[in-house]
Amino acid sequence: MLNLNSGYFIMLLGLAAYIVVAVTLAGFLPDHWAVQILYALVAGMAWIYPAVKFLDFSYRKQQDKKATIAKEDHPSQD
């Protein structure tokens, strides 16, 4: 199961891969200051949404795991 620490590690690997791709693509851009600024803005913010979603996913998995353990430790009196 994915825990919070492995989630952070996976996110860091994904971010490193994103940086490699973004820098590689930047090499193919035209040498014009407006294009470079626009690309820097888009590429600089594009990673935020997937990172937040991934962290939310891994955090929810961790919370679900804790809730399951708590239910097993204290079963309800049905």
Domain extent, residue 48, equals: 4-68
* 3-class DSSP state of 8: helix
What's the per-residue H, E or C state across 10-71? HHHHHHHHHHHHHHHHHCCCCCCHHHHHHHHHHHHHHCHHHHHHHHHHHHHHHHHHHHHHHH
Please indicate, yes or no, if residue 24 is contained in any of the structural domains.
yes
pLDDT digits (tens, 9 = 90+) for 28-62: 999 999 999 999 999 999 989 988 888 888 778 77
Instruction: Band the pLDDT of 77: cuts 50, 70, 90.
Output: low
Please indicate, yes or no, if residue 41 is contained in any of the structural domains.
yes
Please indicate, yes or no, if residue 74 is contained in any of the structural domains.
no
Task: Average the pLDDT over 59-66 and give the result.
Answer: 75
* Residue type (1 letter), 13: L
Domains identified in the chain, total number: 1
Instruction: Band the pLDDT of 74: cuts 50, 70, 90.
Output: low
Quote the pTM value.
0.67
